[in-house]
Amino acid sequence: MDYQKTAHQILQNVGGKENISELTHCFTRLRFVLKDRNKANKDVISNIEGVIQVVEASGQFQVVLGNKVDKVYEAIAPLIGKVNNVSTNDSEKIGWGTKILNVISAIFTPTVPAIAASGMLKGILAVAVLIGMNYFHVDIKTNNTYIILNAASDALFYFMPIILARAAAKVFKTNEYIAMIIGATLCYPAIVTLMTGKTPVTLFGIGITKANYTSSVIPIIIAVFILSYVERFIDKIMPEVLKIIMVPTLSLLVMIPATLIVFGPIGNYLGEFVNWLYYYIMHFSPILLGAFIGGIWCILVIFGAHRAIIPIGINDVAKTGHQNLLAFAGAANFSQAGAALGVFLKTKNKNLKTVAASATVTALFGITEPAIYGANLRLKKPMIYAVISGALGGGLMGWGGSLGNAFANQGILTIPVYASAGTKAFVCYLLGCAIAFFGACALTIIFGFKDLPAGDSGVAQAMDITGSTTQETTLAPKSAVTDEITLAQSDFQIGSPLAGNVIPLNEIADDVFASGSMGKGVAINPSRGIVVAPAKCKVSVLYPTMHAIGLILDNGVEMLIHIGINTVELKGKYFEKKVAVNAELQRGDPIITFNAEAIKKAGYDLTTSIIITNSNKYAAIGATTVANVDLNDDLLFIKKEEG
């Protein structure tokens, strides 16, 4: 293959180097960010020698080249030179809706653990107050211990501008400490006194719109966004010798007045408008809003779109001390737990029963991903039952006026957060959770689903790795059966490099791997953050971002393990390598460890593709139909070509 020729042809057909804003590559593909997608000729590129497929996703024009990507990248990079990361036509690169969602997600995701902890602490304090009043007739709110712990639960929300300033600065790539100073200025006691007093406030003789910015959300995000441009402009014009002092100084001198006079009031009005709109819908029909959030919340979770509305709840707590968004979302969580329990009670498959039992427990504590991906979404019908039941529960909560006094994860431990809303509201919250949970469970048991085969403990049969199975199951393929391989019929087996739920390759959200164009394989939704050697092998490739590994097994199989979807964007964050390229490994030796929870919280799908890249050398390749595998359990079944 002529890599130079391929590189020239790709460059020509993406619109030339003038049309490229950014070029990166991962283990299998070139990732272009184009200024104008209309200038790219997708059909021509698809037919260039070495190109496997062309995919347009996440604002990128991706050219899939498989294991040739390094060579083609080395050939094309000098032809492009240094590219500008700012497109002249952003609206064609990524839609504004996607951009805003990505920014919101990137800013708020790092704060979620702290917000959840504050909400949990507030829930514990609410229980303590109720117990003290009802059983001991004591008001503990005057107790020093309560005051200190209450301050700890409120601190995050009070100083929200400082917290969000740092997160926003990382997203907008500006000085984090200057951003935090702007946020701290908004919360400074003397400023708060000025803004809440009766005397008019002026700055350089200019009147300032008075507003209390403690606990605010939008003003600081707008301010840091503007800071990123101001800082870059000052840095560009400032002599090198003065930059270290004058860039931050002038940035503050410009941004503090600009924030208090212009961007702060604008952000404040925007925040009030968003809340007004949400509550306008709420007042129009609280039942409808509750049903909508309760039914659709876990669907939004699957696509990561729930992060777009989370700020509504955060802003509500910061401004008013209560929110109802997560009350309605709680109905969705309990419905997922109920559906998973129904799967546990209904299924005859031992492995699925284990997965569903575990998922039920975690969903009851507010972690729904195991229930969604391990049982309900996989089996389809239980997911539908959960949506219906969640909508019914959320509708009842809306009718009853349920709300919580903290932004807390929705599970059994945070139920007390919703007790302060009053008897009717709290009873409706409890009944809504019960309807969601028991309704989803009952619907799953009564109307059922297409179960997995029960005989997992016997001889494992195989499915064709593009998704076909030897018998009809819920993992049913989109195409007809091509290979039927039992363990006895295969020439050798390969162990699983991960522990988790087995997923047919054609059902994953990565079109390249799902199509089988990279080779046959199977996918796993990991239950543990470790990848081990599936057999005696050599590490042929270990990508710098550690999300992809190439192995050459002693039996000649060439394997690609691709951890997650689009996780190349993390640039190695949350991953740790245990070996180096060319390392000789024994079965079970650790290769990569990763923080699964952190990656999920960052908004990435951890579905891991395990591909046999030299599939054409074998007569048949299959995978187990066992729903859940542990490390080194038999996963792949290989039959050699005859002769």
562 a catalytic residue: yes
DSSP state of 451: P
- Most distant CA pair in the chain: distance in Å? 94
Q: List Cβ neighbours of 245 (8 Å cut-off, separation of 6 or more).
A: none
Window from 41-55, 248-262, 405-419 with minimum mean pLDDT: 405-419
Domain limits, the chain = 3-94, 159-276, 285-447, 462-640
pLDDT exceeding 90 applies to what percent of the chain? Answer: 33
CATH class of 462-640: mainly beta
Tens of pLDDT, residue by residue over 222-273, are 999 999 999 999 999 999 889 989 999 999 999 999 999 998 898 878 877 7
Q: Which CATH architecture has domain 3-94?
A: 2-Layer Sandwich (3.30)
Res 517: pLDDT: 74
Contact criterion met (CB below 8 Å) for 467 and 507: yes
Least confident of 191-200, 208-217, 313-322: 313-322
Model confidence pTM above 0.85: no
502-545: pLDDT as tens digits: 888 888 877 778 877 788 889 999 988 999 999 999 998 888 88
Amino acid 149: pLDDT: 93
Helices (H), 216-285: 218-237, 243-258, 264-284
Eight-state DSSP code of residue 460: P
pLDDT at 562 over 90: yes
Closest CA to 562 of 67, 160, 102: 67
Alpha-carbon distance 421 to 401, whole Å?
A: 8
More confident residue, 2 or 394: 394
pLDDT confidence of 369, banded at 50, 70, 90?
low
Active-site annotation holds for 26 = yes
Helix axes 144-158, 310-320, angle to 10 degrees: 130
Single-letter code of the amino acid located at 187: C
pLDDT band at 459 (very low <50, low <70, confident <90, very high): very low
Distance CA 79, CA 90 (A): 23
> What is the number of alpha carbons within 13 Å of residue 444 lying toward its C-beta?
34
Nearest in space to 523 (alpha carbons), one of 620, 590, 605: 605
* Residue keyed to tokens 């300032």: 208
**Which of 25, 306, 322, 562 is an active site residue?**
562
Q: Do domains 3-94 and 462-640 have the same CATH topology?
A: no
Rounded Cα distance, 120 and 140, in Å: 18
Q: 25, 26, 306, 441: which one is catalytic?
A: 26
